[in-house]
């Protein structure tokens, strides 16, 4: 446990002041973050070497997200684990389990010597770094918000201190080249703002293209650009006259325009290629997901069916179960609330189908949330379906209607039928589990049986709190 399995890769991390370079570097080198930051600031004072180094790393080093995404072989599918039901290995080291597949970072948390001194934010980091983890999306804004606010205050303080230092130096008679410093600062600041924007765009673009804060992003980009352009202009033209400055500006704009004109087709083509590649990758991901699902469910069932080919009953049962599972996966309405009454009835129908092998077709109209009283309805329906499947011996039709004020379930089979009076007193299935249960809970139950089939009708008034609409 004490041996370091290897250096964590150099990535920019999300606990950051500016771009996460220092904390990433610290994790990579195994040093405390604070030392790296101080060293960077000191290096910056030495002729700006630190700034250049920082900027270089900012450009060259990917963020943790990007790195994780690049390394992820197969995107984690939300369906595959549920379908394959592979036993989750319990002995997985904690950090690996927390980080999920594809993220090589957790070594920094539990293996690196700097782990003990790591700031609190890095403890929660692996969760945020999960490549496509849905939960981490919720956590991320919180980190960003906190870190950015903190960073802004620090930056502001540093800036004010710098200005104060310059003023004091001037008062003391030291000649500070303000004419160079201010434009240089403007260029640096503008570049930082623009680059931060690039970071955000990259991250947001990979998560979701239609982001709400696009306008703000553009504003920041424009502000950064304006700062840089103004700084460069002032630096180049020195303290020259306005006339000169305007001429220079005009010339630069003309040159830039010409360059854009020449490069635009290439840029557009490049952009289109990029988009096409991206679309291709998304398709590939989807394909892999579907393939994984089909492998885990359909192929397994087909193998089972081949082995049990002699037993017709088993084959039908397997085919029905697989059909149900596949339908659920293909046609499920993701916008619908789970756990509604129709879902429960369908689940019960599936159970009966598995148990007795006869098809149970459920048609549902409308839906409602399951209340306590509905449990009785569900249980009575189950009993009715069991009876219908057992004695009817064919397809059972179930119809659920949950309209304003009332939930009704009809269970119909095409069996030989029976007379309620003929059922022996000690058989409680119909009398107790269906009729008695419904009556006790304030519902109704009626049974019609002819030689062509039996139908059980169950009715249940809606819960009092929903009864504002009333029955039409």
Partner 1 sequence: MNAAQGAGTGPVRTARSARVVIVDDHAIFRSGLKADLDPSIQVVGEAATVEQAIAVIARERPDVVLLDVHLPGGLGGGGREVIAGSAALLATTRFLALSVSDAAEDVVAVIRAGARGYVTKTISGAEITDAVYRVAGGDAVFSPRLAGFVLDAFGTAPADIADDELDKLSARELEVMRLIARGYSYKEVAKELFISIKTVETHVSAVLRKLQLSSRHELTKWAAERRLL
354 and 386 Cβ atoms separated by less than 8 Å: no
By CB under 8 A, is residue 124 in contact with partner 1? no
d(CA 348, CA 369): 16
d(CA 200, CA 214): 10
Piece of 105-113, 174-182, 329-337, 458-466 that binds partner 1 (CB under 8 A): 329-337
Q: State whether the Cα torsion 51-52-55-61 is positive or negative.
A: negative
Q: Which is nearer to partner 1, 16 or 346 (CB)?
A: 346
Segment 57-60 long-range contacts (CB within 8 Å, at least 24 positions apart): 57/12, 57/21, 57/24, 57/25, 58/12, 58/18, 58/19, 58/21, 58/195, 59/195
Contact with partner 1 (CB under 8 A) among 53, 195, 329, 399? 399
Q: Which is nearer to partner 1, 195 or 410 (CB)?
A: 410
d(CA 381, CA 372): 15
d(CA 150, CA 148): 5
How many helices, marked H, and strands, marked E, lie in the chain?
18, 5
Contact with partner 1 (CB under 8 A) among 200, 351, 354, 401? 401
Q: How far is the CB of 451 from partner 1 (least distance, A)?
A: 12
Q: Which is nearer to partner 1, 426 or 452 (CB)?
A: 452
Q: How far is the CB of 419 from partner 1 (least distance, A)?
A: 19
By CB under 8 A, is residue 264 in contact with partner 1? no
Phi, psi of 461 (to 5 degrees): -70, 150
Letters for 354-393 (x = contact with partner 1 by CB under 8 A, - = none) are -----x-x-xxxx---------------------------
d(CA 288, CA 77): 9
Q: How many residues bind partner 1 (CB under 8 A)?
A: 21
By CB under 8 A, is residue 242 in contact with partner 1? no
By CB under 8 A, is residue 346 in contact with partner 1? no
User: Exposed/middle/buried for 90, CB within 10 Å: 0-12, 13-18, 19+?
Assistant: exposed
Q: How far is the CB of 414 from partner 1 (least distance, A)?
A: 8
Piece of 42-50, 105-113, 397-405, 421-429 that binds partner 1 (CB under 8 A): 397-405
d(CA 395, CA 353): 10
By CB under 8 A, is residue 452 in contact with partner 1? yes
By CB under 8 A, is residue 468 in contact with partner 1? no
Q: How far is the CB of 445 from partner 1 (least distance, A)?
A: 15
By CB under 8 A, is residue 329 in contact with partner 1? no
Q: How far is the CB of 397 from partner 1 (least distance, A)?
A: 3
By CB under 8 A, is residue 195 in contact with partner 1? no
* Bridge partner residues of 406 (DSSP): 403, 461
Contact with partner 1 (CB under 8 A) among 55, 79, 127, 403? 403
d(CA 111, CA 26): 13
Q: Which is nearer to partner 1, 28 or 344 (CB)?
A: 344
Contact with partner 1 (CB under 8 A) among 20, 412, 430, 454? 412
By CB under 8 A, is residue 331 in contact with partner 1? yes
Phi, psi of 395 (to 5 degrees): -65, 135
Total residue length of the chain: 472
d(CA 17, CA 199): 13
Binding site residues, partner 1, CB under 8 A: 327, 330-331, 333, 335, 359, 361, 363-366, 397, 399, 401, 403-404, 410, 412, 452, 455, 472
């Amino acid at each position: 446990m004490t041996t370091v399995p290897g250096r964590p890769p150099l990535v920019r991390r999300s606990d950051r002041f500016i771009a996460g370079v220092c904390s990433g570097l610290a994790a990579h080198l195994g040093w405390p973050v604070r030392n790296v930051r101080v060293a960077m600031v000191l290096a910056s004072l030495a002729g700006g070497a630190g700034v250049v180094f920082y900027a270089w790393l900012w450009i060259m080093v990917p963020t943790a997200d990007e790195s994780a995404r690049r390394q992820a072989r197969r995107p984690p599918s939300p369906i595959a684990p549920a379908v394959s039901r592979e036993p989750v290995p319990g002995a997985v080291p904690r950090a690996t389990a927390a980080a999920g597949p594809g993220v090589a970072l957790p070594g920094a948390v539990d293996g690196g010597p700097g782990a003990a001194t790591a700031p609190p934010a890095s403890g929660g980091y692996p969760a945020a770094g999960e490549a496509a983890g849905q939960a981490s999306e919720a956590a991320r804004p919180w980190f960003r918000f906190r870190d950015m606010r903190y960073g802004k205050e620090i930056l502001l303080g540093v800036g004010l201190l710098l200005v104060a230092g310059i003023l004091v130096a001037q008062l003391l008679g030291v000649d500070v080249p303000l004419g160079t410093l201010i434009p240089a600062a403007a260029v640096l600041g503008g570049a930082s703002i623009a680059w931060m924007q690039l970071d955000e765009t990259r991250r947001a673009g990979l998560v979701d293209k239609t982001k709400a804060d696009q306008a703000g992003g553009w504003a920041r980009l424009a502000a950064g650009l304006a700062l840089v352009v103004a700084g460069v202009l002032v630096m180049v033209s020195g303290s020259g006259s306005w006339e000169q400055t305007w001429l220079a500006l005009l010339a630069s704009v003309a040159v830039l325009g010409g360059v854009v004109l020449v490069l635009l087709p290439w840029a557009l083509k490049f952009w289109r290629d990029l988009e096409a590649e991206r679309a291709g990758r998304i398709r590939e991901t989807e394909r892999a997901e579907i393939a994984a699902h089909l492998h885990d469910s359909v192929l397994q069932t087909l193998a089972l069916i081949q082995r049990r080919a002699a037993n017709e009953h088993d084959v039908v049962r397997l085919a029905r179960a697989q059909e149900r599972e596949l339908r659920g996966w293909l046609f499920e309405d993701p916008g619908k609330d789970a756990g509604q009454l129709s879902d429960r009835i369908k689940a019960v129908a599936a159970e009966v189908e598995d148990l007795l092998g006869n098809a149970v077709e459920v048609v549902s109209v409308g839906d409602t949330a399951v209340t306590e009283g509905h449990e009785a309805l569900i249980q009575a329906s189950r009993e009715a379906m069991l009876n219908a499947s057992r004695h009817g011996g064919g397809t059972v039709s179930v119809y659920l209607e949950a309209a304003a004020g009332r939930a009704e379930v009809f269970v119909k089979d095409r069996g030989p039928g029976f007379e309620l009076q003929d059922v022996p007193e000690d058989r409680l299935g119909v009398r107790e589990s269906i009729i008695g249960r419904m009556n006790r809970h304030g519902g109704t139950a009626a049974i019609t049986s002819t030689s062509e089939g039996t139908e059980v009708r169950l009715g249940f008034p809606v819960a009092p709190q929903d009864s504002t609409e009333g029955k039409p």
